[in-house]
Amino acid sequence: MISKKQIQTFTVKALFLVTFSNVIYGQKVSNYNKCNTDFSPIHLHNDSIANNSYADTTLTSEARSWDVIKRLNIDEKINLTGGWNDFLFPAVKRLGLPPVFFADASQGVRIRPEDTCNIVEKTTAFPASIALAATWNTDLANKYAKNIADECIAWGVGILLGPGINMYRNSEGGRSYEYYGEDPYLTSRITVSYIKGMEGKGVITCPKHFIANDQEFVRHVADVKVSEKALREIYLPPFKAAIKEGHALAIMTGNNFVNGYPGASNKPLTNDILRKEYGFKGVIMSDWASTRFWPDSLDLVLGSGQSLLMANNKQFAAYIKEKFNKANPASKAYIEKQLDTMVFHNLNSFFKSGVYDRDLKSIDYASLLKNHKKTALTAAEESITLLKNKNILPINKDVKQILVLGTDEALTSYTGNGSGKVLGYDVVTPLQGLKETFGENRVKRVIKPTEDDIKNASIILYFANKPAGEGFDIKYNSLNIADKLLKISKINPNIVVLYSGGNGIPMPWIKNVKGLLFTYFLGQEGGHAIANVLSGKVNPSGKLPFTIEKDFKDSPAYNYNVLPDGTIYWEGNKPNSAEIYEKFGRIKIPYKEGIYIGYRWYDKNNIKVRYPFGYGLSYTNFKISKPKANLNSKKWNGNTNLKIVANVSNTGKVEGKETIQLYIQPLNNKGNRAIKELKRFKKINLKKGTSKEVSFTLNPQDFSYWSEKEDQWKIDQGKYRIMVGSSSQELKCIDITYSIK
């Protein structure tokens, strides 16, 4: 129990912070609370509150939550199942429970000018999530998240609404830049590291959007039809890892329907899998459309596992109050018990994270922003993916003239739009970075180059981009630069394309350029990162977290956005969804490909791609040896873990990083299985001329698949091939087989 002396100490500290908050990190800061709301932690309230059990920090979060619940009236319980003032969890003023402030996104704290109850003024724009995935660096993901957590603590963010962990099923998906790519294992590993980094500091993460919310096309009325096998093998694993390994304290459900159930009332998935099977006791909140598009199904909410409706629960609250008032005593008891469960899951996360027990803002954390620039730069550098290099990169620092072409938009594109947009500060553009590195006189920016401009350039850097964001999808073939590049290449073939975006693109022009860098959305330090990679100060080490197909017609998601009348439709904002629903009702989106998305699809159908999953070049060369196993024979009974070892050598002329990827292939494929699946990866750094042994430990679960017939995970006896290499198609050592008996 907290003493009065401790309370006085906390009060002094709080007053100091309010005074200190007028100046932060060299900048004047406005009043952070403009709606006269008391954000004080529980221990700063009066003795009658501070001496209650729920104020005792020595008790478990569960005990504290139930102590609050027993003191709530029915109206308060209903109130605590919905959001307040758009981006907050409501307070219980008479019990001293403060509101909890939420913020977007995954790659930093998004500033919303419309937030008046809590003002966020300055945050770092880290590289987008898809760029973080391209680093294939789990340690970096952990540090990245810790840095963002510092800024959440500084500015009073209790829950950060990310990471986004939907699958890159669709190469036109508008929010793909917010996610971690096409593979559930890669997504899971980055997710767990991110969550541990952020929640280790007491900031709640909210992995989203549960589940199969992989396109923006009429997302509020889209009904995804997906098999149990695909859910278990592709779409559920990242959420399972987030809960079971990362210990996330919140999950956000999608606006879409799945197999006929609304995202925010999907009992088979939310209650039966997340709650019962995975044992999740935290917040399960809706996306911000709440129950708007299914007001006739409000009876599904109670018992669904959902605990919080955002941005508010007005429809649900009205429904429950009417039902409660008319109910008999037994029905009232049932309704109240269900509400208690919903409220418990919300309070449990807030108590467990410490949100209720700390000051809203710890302003001194804002001084850490200058250090966060370094992490943002490192993440940007490691994400940049070199896809083609025909003896043109790196650029010699004595280069005579670099001609910079492309649109201004491409040269200033560092983040996507929508809830994932983070503005940052001190943003460095590629042009600025290039001039700092190579000198003002050597870098020439021209919008409409003459033939002489092109002819006289030592190297031409052509910047291209596609926008990305919430509420719309992006045409795969909307980047029309082929004719321009062909014309330029006839005059000067020394062209390097730098493409920023969240999705792949067709590249009919690739033969006309000597270099290609995929730069994703690199955040505020992107200009420095690009210059460092182009100059060779940093050796590129990014690997594609998704496959780039040659044509969108090759994709398993082709024709996903065709309406019943044959119209191709791209939009996904609320008014668009309402318009489409009025015309056609719910729009079914069948995931006919099942488990076969990304490289699984292209392998199965023997489709040649432009660049495979896991691919990325370096300025040096790596050699990966034939793998070995800790077995005397080629038979493994599965009773012990299997250790796979390979030797990696840097045979080139410079230091560099390589990501070693391990895939498993079932040779006697009996269970409708992918040809191969990523099961392990490790990123290492090697100086030139050195070698390192890399080891991976496998267990029986790595060889399993979901049997729909038996409704469980299953491992078939037979032969398996272990493949180790530098991408999903560059697996040099594929001749090791094992028999599980």
Q: What is the mean pLDDT of residues 36-62?
A: 92
Q: Are 270 and 305 in contact (CB under 8 A)?
A: yes
For the cut 80, the answer to whether the pLDDT of residue 732 exceeds it is no
pLDDT of residue 739: 66
Q: Which helix (H) or strand (E) holds 677?
A: strand 677-686
Q: Is 387 found in the same domain as 347?
A: no
E strand map for 8-136: 23-24, 27-28, 88-89, 100-103
For the cut 60, the answer to whether the pLDDT of residue 31 exceeds it is no
78 is a domain residue: yes
> Rounded to two decimals, what is the model's pTM?
0.95
Q: Are 388 and 139 in contact (CB under 8 A)?
A: no
Q: At what angle do helices 138-155 and 184-199 cross, to 10 degrees?
A: 40
Q: What is the pLDDT of residues 667-688, one digit of tens each?
A: 988 778 999 999 999 999 999 9
DSSP tag of 93: G
Q: Is 324 found in the same domain as 459?
A: no
Q: What 3-state class would DSSP assign to 671?
A: coil
Q: Are 32 and 377 in contact (CB under 8 A)?
A: no
3-state DSSP of 478-516: CCCCHHHHHHHHHHCCCEEEEEECCCCCCCCCHHHCCEE
Q: Are 366 and 422 in contact (CB under 8 A)?
A: no
Range of the domain at 667: 620-740
For the cut 60, the answer to whether the pLDDT of residue 736 exceeds it is no
DSSP tag of 196: H
Q: What is the pLDDT of residues 371-406, one digit of tens each?
A: 999 999 999 999 999 999 999 999 998 999 999 999
Q: Which helix (H) or strand (E) holds 460?
A: strand 459-465
Which residues, at least 6 apart from 563, have a Cβ–Cβ distance to it below 8 Å? 569, 580, 583, 584, 587
545 is a domain residue: no
Q: Is 397 found in the same domain as 355?
A: no
Tokens (6 digits) for 656:
């560099």
Per the structure, the count of domains in the chain is: 3
* Count, residues in the chain: 741
On average, the pLDDT of the chain sits at: 93
pLDDT of residue 54: 97
Q: What is the pLDDT of residues 75-96, one digit of tens each?
A: 999 999 999 999 999 999 999 9
Whose CA is closest to 208, among 417, 470, 598?
Answer: 470
E strand map for 277-395: 283-285, 385-389
Q: Is 383 found in the same domain as 330?
A: no
For the cut 60, the answer to whether the pLDDT of residue 27 exceeds it is no
138 is a domain residue: yes
CATH value at residue 54: 3.20.20.300
Better-predicted residue by pLDDT, 313 or 365: 313
Q: Is 233 found in the same domain as 135?
A: yes
Q: Is 442 found in the same domain as 297?
A: no
Q: Are 504 and 512 in contact (CB under 8 A)?
A: no
For the cut 90, the answer to whether the pLDDT of residue 312 exceeds it is yes
Q: Is 389 found in the same domain as 351?
A: no
Query: Final residue of a domain: which of 535, 554, 580?
Result: 535
For the cut 60, the answer to whether the pLDDT of residue 10 exceeds it is no
679 is a domain residue: yes
For the cut 50, the answer to whether the pLDDT of residue 297 exceeds it is yes
